[in-house]
Chain A
Amino acid sequence: EAGVAQSPRYKIIEKRQSVAFWCNPISGHATLYWYQQILGQGPKLLIQFQNNGVVDDSQLPKDRFSAERLKGVDSTLKIQPAKLEDSAVYLCASSSRSVGPQHFGDGTRLSIL
């Protein structure tokens, strides 16, 4: 079974620039999550999708972050404009049930200069 695919693996941008991350969940997984993990901390949920609908985006900084999952499969997370404090690893995860265990992708390591 192929795992969760994410790209790119690494991204370096300057503050105020824009960046986008892509995620392809495990086939058949209806629930998709985006997390932000800052060094030394546990992952923090940014947004959760059930198919193409948003279940929870309460911790998403909506003034600069956006995410979509238009066809209920792939998802993109965008930051525009980036700030220094956005430097983190952005993890995508999927699960077959909304309360089931999650399977994570390798993550995208974002550095803001």
Chain B
Amino acid sequence: RKEVEQDPGPFNVPEGATVAFNCTYSNSASQSFFWYRQDCRKEPKLLMSVYSSGNEDGRFTAQLNRASQYISLLIRDSKLSDSATYLCVVSRNTGNQFYFGTGTSLTVIP
């Protein structure tokens, strides 16, 4: 079983829509969680860390559900500039290993 699994999409949504991505992880010992954004032919860039209590940054909300072992990313009022691949990243403190999901592709349509 993969360490991190994401629905690859693609998600095609109209401008202004709300879209949510989920990511599941297999190891209950995972400690740190992140969402990265990757534009086509560019490097991944940190979008936000995911905290146990959930956190919000503008139109973006990240949540962690340890019982079900998943994290989510909610994007409200989608903009054309949100079109990208969103990568879920999970880390265990033991061994300091980071695991990336395959990414979820989002296209926001005018």
Tell whether A pairs with B: yes
Residues of chain A having any CB pair with chain B under 8 Å: 31, 33, 35, 40-45, 48, 50, 55-56, 91, 98-99, 101-107
Digit string of B89-103 for contact with A (CB within 8 Å is 1, else 0)?
A: 001010111111111
* A-B pair number, CB within 8 angstroms: 48
Contact residues in B for A44 (Cβ distance below 8 Å): 100
Residues of chain B having any CB pair with chain A under 8 Å: 4, 31-32, 34, 42-46, 49, 87, 91, 93, 95-103
- Secondary structure dominating the interface of B: strand
Flag if B43 contacts A55 (CB, 8 Å): no
Flag if A42 contacts B103 (CB, 8 Å): yes
- B34's partner among A35, A48, A101, A105 (CB-CB below 8 A) is A101
A56 and B97 in contact (CB under 8 A), knowing A99-B91, A101-B34, A101-B49?
A: yes
Closest to A92 in B: B43
Flag if B95 contacts A56 (CB, 8 Å): yes
- B44's partner among A40, A43, A55 (CB-CB below 8 A) is A43
Q: Which 5 residue pairs across A and B have the least CB separation, nearest first?
A: A42-B100, A104-B43, A98-B96, A42-B102, A101-B46
